[in-house]
Amino acid sequence: MARILVADDDVDIRELVEFKLSTLGHEITAVADGQAAIDACRGDRPDLAVLDVMMPGVSGLDAIRAIRADPALADLPVILLTARAQETDVENGFDSGADDYITKPFSPRELASRVEALLARVV
């Protein structure tokens, strides 16, 4: 079981991701924006974070940059989950430090598979 942070301003997506990952036995912390994601990571470091890119206030890209800049969190695995699917968007996501990039709409099964694969690589 891993502790996973999920940050998405869309409550339906957040609850879907939370439900799917919790059925795999993971402990989920769900937040609605990038600043809350940064604060949650600093407060109780998760094993993995799933961040939406477009959130109010602090975006997922800004959140991942803050996470990478924090020595205690720099190696935290992060998956970006976003509707931004252009090649430049994907490139910006990886340039910001993402370990994986999943576009919406997404398959909950694919998300679960990618989470499990990333956790297997870092454990």
- Which pTM value belongs to this model? 0.95
Nearest residue to 34 via CA among 2, 75, 80: 80
Instruction: Look over the chain and give the mean of its residue pLDDT values, rounded to a whole number.
Output: 95
Sheet holding 3-7, edge to edge: 27-31, 3-7, 48-52, 78-82, 100-103
Taking only the tens place, the pLDDT of each residue in 75-103 is 999 999 999 889 999 999 999 999 999 99
Place of tokens 């999920």: 6
Band (pLDDT 50/70/90 cuts) for residue 122 is: confident
pLDDT beyond 80 at 22: yes
Q: Which helix (H) or strand (E) holds 31?
A: strand 27-31
Nearest residue to 80 via CA among 44, 118, 109, 42: 118
Opening angle at CA 77, ends 51 and 66, nearest 5: 60
Q: What domains are there in the chain, each with its CATH number? A: 3-118 (3.40.50.2300)
Contact between 92 and 61 under an 8 Å Cβ cutoff? The reply is: yes
